[in-house]
Amino acid sequence: MQRLARQAALIAGIALGTAALPCGCADPGDDVTTNAADGSLRGELAIYIADEPGVGSQTHYFLKDTAGRERRLLFDSAPDVEPGAWLKVWGTPAAGGVHVASFERMPAPPTIQAGLIGAAPFAPRSFAFVLIDIGGGINRTTDDVMQRMITAPDSIRNYYLFDSYGMQDITAAVIGPLSYTPTGCDTSPMAQMLKPQVDAQGGPFQHYLWYYGSKNSECTWSGLASVGMPDRPSANTWYNASTNCIVLVQEPGHNFGMQHSSSMTCGSAPFADDPNTCTSSEYGDRFDPMGGGCRHMNAWQKDYQGWFGGCNGVTVASSGTFTLVPFELSCTGVQYLQVKAPKARPYNRPSGGGGNATTENLNFYYLELRTPLDFDGTLGNSSALSPRVLVHVADDRHTRTQRGVHTYLLDMNPATTGNQGLNDAGLAVGQTFTDPAGGLTITAQAISNTGATIVVDYASGGSGAPTCIDGSAFAPPGPGMESCVVTMPTGGGGSAGGTGGSTGTAGAGAGTGGATMPTGSAGSAGGQTAPGDSGPSGGCACDTAASGTARIAGLLLAVLAFAVATRRRRRAPARRR
């Protein structure tokens, strides 16, 4: 009876919930399927990450029915459920949506099954970059966009090829300009209305990049994205007249399940026994586009995407000496260490600027050697990194079927403060990091462009031999630079533009490379920040968007089966799973 009463209240308050929804997430009269038997709302959970420059990130939840209509869900705390899960929801109408009292999982409707995944490389992902004229014209030409996406040395395509070691390619078509008159910041209705026109010009596509050609002042974000998972990516991202490297990598990164790469400062120490006494910055990792820099993604993020294999990562729980090889190259050697912390440390990530409050388990340290190669060099950047060992803290590794988590860059030199304080965050040669509770030290014995020697010392000696991420035994210290190959991705991947567009052409590669450092280009005109761009704060912010998970009618994302790609960089066999 109580649930039936809730159902009646929900139906009675549906118009109020719709009218109060910011950004026009659903048209008046839209509803999510209800069931008279138990009074629940039923549908697929859609999660959106919204980043407002100068304010921070927000996370919003919606329930989407099989027709694609959405209703915002207001939870008292962040639910422990992955995007794309099917739920029964009970609650009461509230300003802006439905205040959730309880929910249960339910079986998903039957879908077409994709092929087996896990083989390397993965199938290329198809992107449609849709130019939308909302009345102010378009601040990018089709050729500019094709350079930014595909043909320039520092293109988004080359970013993914370099970052994934050739395991993830993309293709792109530029469509438009298409005309649309928005009502406020109405992202979802726009995508639903324009998608048939886009698909008629070479689609359907796996990812849709909806680009406002002029600033929509009703949208306070530079980019917006729906959240998926690596094995079940979502489809939609939105851009508010912004095409910088960070926003064009970060928003699809959310589609692929990645959360933000953050940083943590703990006063005069690199870390604290109670991380809740520290301060975190949502976009603080300036060495990662999921944070605030156009560099390689960190080890946790890459591993989550399935771009490592064999002994590219080694889990350490006992004392030993290990060799790290450059993080940017294709190698069979160790490119990151996962060092078990002496104790588990839950971190209560705050709400507000960081979205809904979450609890992050900071149980492992992750070490990686950055060197001045490709995007850690001058591709997409005005300067190259010097060799350095970065230390992050995060949860245990997650599989491609799990939700992503926040990772935290630790500042090994906290005395340097201010805007540039994290530039020297790496562990210096001869420097030792000590776990704040004691019992573990990590020392960078040597660091160069070709390798780093890391000494891990547990006071008790630790327990268990080191193991590779594929489960095999590992014999320290591991191979050096001889385990790596240096190859460059090739240009191309463009396709014919749609209405108002032009044909994408095969572009130049990402520069010729030497044994340790490709020269590359510092970027093309299409990759510069244009007037009106929101800049590298990137991200997404509005209260709604089209859901990123596959709907039954479309089944578009089911084709994201990962198979042997037709184009890839040469990858060492240890990368294969």
What is residue 356's three-state secondary structure? coil
- pLDDT beyond 70 at 525: no
Number of neighbouring beta carbons within 10 Å of residue 268 = 7
- pLDDT beyond 80 at 119: no
More confident residue, 467 or 41: 467
Integer CA distances (angstroms), 480 to 18, 332, 339, in order: 59, 9, 20
Chain segment 383-423, per-residue pLDDT in tens: 999 999 999 999 999 999 999 999 999 999 999 987 778 99
Residue at token pair 């080191």: 466
What is residue 189's three-state secondary structure? helix
To 10 degrees, what angle do helices 156-163 and 245-255 make? 60
Strand partners, 394: 364
Cα dihedral angle (294, 299, 300, 302), rounded to 10 degrees?
A: 70
User: Given this model, what pLDDT does residue 109 score?
Assistant: 64
Chain segment 286-315, per-residue pLDDT in tens: 999 999 999 999 999 999 999 999 999 999
pLDDT-based confidence at 550, cuts 50/70/90? very low
User: Given this model, what pLDDT does residue 28 score?
Assistant: 28
More confident residue, 30 or 142: 142
User: Given this model, what pLDDT does residue 134 score?
Assistant: 96
**Residue 156 in tokens:** 């988004």
pLDDT above 90 covers what percent of the chain? Answer: 59
For the segment 218-246, the average pLDDT, to the nearest whole number, is 93
What is residue 170's three-state secondary structure? strand
Q: Is 485:345 a contact under the CB 8 Å cutoff? A: no
Domains assigned to the chain = 2-105 (2.40.50), 125-258+488-575 (no CATH), 261-485 (no CATH)
Chain segment 152-211, per-residue pLDDT in tens: 999 999 999 999 999 999 999 999 999 999 999 989 899 999 999 999 999 999 999 999
What is residue 525's three-state secondary structure? helix
Q: What is the 3-state secondary structure (H, E, C) of 475-521?
A: CCCCCCHHHEECCCCCCCCEEECCCCCCECCCCCCCCCCCCCCCCCC
**Residue 565 in tokens:** 């790609």
pLDDT-based confidence at 106, cuts 50/70/90? confident
For the segment 274-280, the average pLDDT, to the nearest whole number, is 96
Taking all residues of the chain, what is their mean pLDDT, rounded to a whole number? Answer: 78
H or E element at residue 252 = helix 245-255
User: Given this model, what pLDDT does residue 535 score?
Assistant: 31
For the segment 102-117, the average pLDDT, to the nearest whole number, is 56
For the segment 93-99, the average pLDDT, to the nearest whole number, is 84
Q: Is 352 left (phi over 0), alpha (psi -120 to 50) or beta?
A: left
For the segment 12-25, the average pLDDT, to the nearest whole number, is 32
User: Given this model, what pLDDT does residue 68 score?
Assistant: 66
User: Given this model, what pLDDT does residue 105 score?
Assistant: 81
User: Given this model, what pLDDT does residue 46 score?
Assistant: 78
